């Protein structure tokens, strides 16, 4: 064989190997645990959990960026928001993401946690290190929207959701603080659920949960859901939400305690789909619940799972931040506002 032929053959083999690598499917993990046949209408039979990226310290707060066709998500301890896309993979989007203070400060988890977009398409972040809700402005500067209640600093805002009227609901547990619940820097005597009105008025709605975490709204806007990550009471709460932004009739929507054998995890991040089904993290992965709080099954990642978001062009892909990994599952549902 001539050297030219050998060179051409080597190049062809290299191209073939590159194409094969590019076409290789993503690694899959876990399983879909189906406890009710109604789950098939939401998560199709044969659906798998794909791993898209790994190596994060604690992945959190995913949100789909429709304007740019990408997913944004937090790595909270590393104080960074990453961007992921099918073509570009993972890249740093914002660093620092949650703490802009003196070196060595910011608590045990200084980065941004929950992320969302407002009606104008601007990114809004729960900045744990800065202990505030902030909005991303031009040149990647952040502007605080709320940092204190009655003059006292928040603990470490965790997750958030916008209502149709422009009100922002968010939770404020102490997980970002160095000593969490026992941190001497705490200024507020409760771990609250808050409402930031369109006019900037800030009110506390719930003060009696030990560890409020994930938060969501029903499609009609009449029910506010709050996941509690307290290991002694790992429940999803539901509240009647009124037109004036107040809540009443707090009750347990779903208790995850009987599912602890499924694996590690507690109620944390959540999303509510267009038909009112609640997708919440919990033991083993992501639990799927009906609007009545009936358990349909679990997307089992097999590891502590922090949060989730619907995305892609049709809004039908569920992105999951599970411990050190970013994963996805194709579904047959989507968010109402998609």
- pLDDT, residue 281, reads 98
Query: CATH assignment of 26-330, given 2.120.10.30, 3.40.50.300, 2.60.40.10, 3.40.50.720?
Result: 2.120.10.30
Structure tokens given for 275:
């038909």
User: pLDDT of 84-131, one tens digit each?
Assistant: 999 999 999 999 999 999 988 899 999 999 999 999 999 999 999 999
| Tally of CA atoms within 13 A in the half-sphere of 197 that contains its CB | 11
- pLDDT, residue 337, reads 64
Q: Mean pLDDT, to the nearest integer, of 131-151?
A: 96
Query: Would you mind telling me the total number of residues written for the chain in this entry?
Result: 338
> Is 15's pLDDT higher than 90?
no
- Top pLDDT among 306 and 7 is at 306
Query: Cβ(173)–Cβ(212) under 8 Å?
Result: yes
- pLDDT, residue 18, reads 36
User: pLDDT of 165-212, one tens digit each?
Assistant: 999 999 999 999 999 999 999 999 999 999 999 999 999 999 999 999
> Is 218's pLDDT higher than 50?
yes
**Which residues in 257-288 are b (16+ Cβ under 10 Å) and which e?**
eebeebbebbbbbbbbbeeebbbbbbbbbbbb
> Is 4's pLDDT higher than 70?
no
The average confidence (pLDDT) of the chain is 93
Order of strands, edge to edge, in the sheet holding 168-171? 160-162, 168-171, 193-196, 202-206
Domain ranges of the chain: 26-330
At 24, is the pLDDT very low, low, confident or very high (cuts 50, 70, 90)?
low
Angle, vertex CA 299, rays to CA 220 and CA 80, nearest 5:
80
> Is 333's pLDDT higher than 50?
yes
């Amino acid at each position: 064989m001539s050297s030219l032929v050998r060179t051409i053959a080597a190049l062809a083999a290299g191209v073939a190997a590159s194409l094969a690598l590019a076409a290789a499917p993503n690694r899959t993990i876990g399983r879909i645990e189906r406890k009710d046949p109604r789950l098939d209408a939401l998560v199709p039979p044969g659906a798998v959990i794909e791993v898209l990226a790994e190596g994060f310290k604690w992945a959190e707060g995913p949100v789909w960026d429709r304007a740019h066709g990408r997913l944004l998500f937090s790595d909270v301890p590393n104080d960074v928001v990453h961007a992921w896309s099918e073509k570009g993979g993972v890249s740093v989007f914002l660093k620092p993401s949650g703490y802009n203070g003196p070196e060595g400060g910011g608590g045990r988890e200084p980065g941004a946690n929950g992320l969302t977009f407002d009606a104008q398409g601007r990114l809004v972040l729960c900045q744990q290190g800065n202990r505030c809700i902030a909005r991303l402005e031009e040149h990647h500067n952040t502007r605080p929207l709320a940092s204190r209640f009655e003059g006292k600093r928040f603990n470490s805002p965790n997750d958030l959701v916008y209502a149709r009227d422009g009100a922002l609901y968010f939770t404020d547990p102490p997980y970002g603080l160095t000593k969490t619940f026992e941190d001497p820097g705490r200024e507020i005597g409760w771990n609250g659920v808050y409402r930031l009105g369109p006019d900037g008025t800030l009110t506390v709605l719930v003060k009696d949960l030990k560890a409020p975490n994930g938060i969501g709204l029903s499609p009609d806007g009449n029910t506010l859901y709050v996941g509690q990550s307290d290991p002694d009471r790992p429940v999803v709460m539901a509240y009647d939400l009124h037109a004036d932004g107040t809540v009443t009739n707090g009750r347990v929507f779903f208790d995850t305690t009987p599912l602890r054998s499924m694996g590690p995890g507690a109620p944390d991040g959540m999303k509510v789909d267009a038909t009112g089904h609640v997708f919440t993290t919990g033991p083993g992965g992501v639990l799927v619940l009906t609007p009545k709080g009936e358990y349909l099954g679990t997307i089992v990642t097999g590891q502590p799972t922090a949060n989730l978001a619907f995305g892609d062009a049709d809004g039908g892909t569920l992105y999951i931040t599970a411990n050190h990994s970013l994963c996805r599952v194709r579904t047959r549902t989507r968010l109402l506002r998609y």
